[in-house]
Amino acid sequence: MSLQSKMSVDFYSARCADLWKNWLKGANATARKAAREGKIRSALGPLMEFMVPVAVLFEDLDDSHGAYSWTRWRLYINSDNTEDDDITYEDFIELCSTGYHETRHAEQFYRIAQGLALGKLSFPDKSKAQIIQQQQGLGMGTGFMAKVAMFEGKGMQQSSRSQRAQQIQEWLDKPITVARTAEAAKGGFDGYIGLAKPQWFKRLPALLPWGLLRGFPKPSRPFSPGQSSSCPQGAGGRSTGVVRSKSSR
């Protein structure tokens, strides 16, 4: 399962359509806001069943549509729209798109953790010496063959589940429960990579050789983890955080 699958997109779209039809249901403003936010959570929840579900919070975010924090494993949606009885259709679409967009960030971090645990991805911001030093600090270099594996860059595969999860947690600065779940389900990474690329994708899937599809430039620098990402209002849903996406749709 993945948020990029047609089944997930169709499910979420249908739930958003139902939300639009029932936007004004509720005895008062407080009840209507709570109902709207509940429907959005109910629409996003089933899309996250394959990973640790992200907490969905509605807050006043000033000029941002939404934000995602991987250190806290939470996504935030601006509550301005859920409070608005007279919301425009354009703002409603942006509201629904923001929920999906920020949840996709969560899947991206979860899939990165799976790929690291499986040994299919490498961490770009650590030198080989730094990785070996950290692995030794976690007790991953016990025994001659384990030390050889570390120097060959195969320390993750030779270590225990708990050691892999702990190293991933430290690398990505995410909750240990997320790292453990991703490690336990690391086999799902291959299935994710094997999914067909949706037509609406605007960048290459992970591990796909650069230049295989025309029109996609090679990134100038590796991805670097940070604290959170956000989508500012009035910028077409563009993310200004470390994880950047061209559109929230």
Tell me the C-alpha to C-alpha distance, in Å, between residue 130 and each of 26, 75, 142.
57, 31, 17
Query: What are 64's strand-pairing partners?
Result: 232
Note whether 147 and 249 are same-domain residues.
no
Note the pTM of the prediction, 2 decimals.
0.72
Note whether 102 and 112 are same-domain residues.
yes
- For residue 5 the two structure tokens come to 């699958």
**pLDDT tens digits for 86-135?**
999 999 999 999 999 999 999 999 999 999 888 888 776 666 566 656 66
Give the model's pLDDT for residue 21: 95
Give the model's pLDDT for residue 56: 97
Tell me the C-alpha to C-alpha distance, in Å, between residue 211 and each of 198, 217, 246.
18, 8, 20
Query: What are 141's strand-pairing partners?
Result: none
Q: How far apart are the first and last CA of the chain?
A: 19
Query: What are 68's strand-pairing partners?
Result: 75, 229
Note whether 94 and 194 are same-domain residues.
yes
Which of 171, 187, 203 terminates a domain? The answer is 187
Note whether 92 and 127 are same-domain residues.
no
Note whether 124 and 51 are same-domain residues.
no
Q: Which domain holds residue 108?
A: 1-119+188-249
Note whether 223 and 158 are same-domain residues.
no
170-174, 185-189, 239-243: least confident range: 239-243
How many whole angstroms separate alpha carbon 76 and alpha carbon 219? 28
Note whether 170 and 196 are same-domain residues.
no
How many structural domains comprise the chain?
A: 2
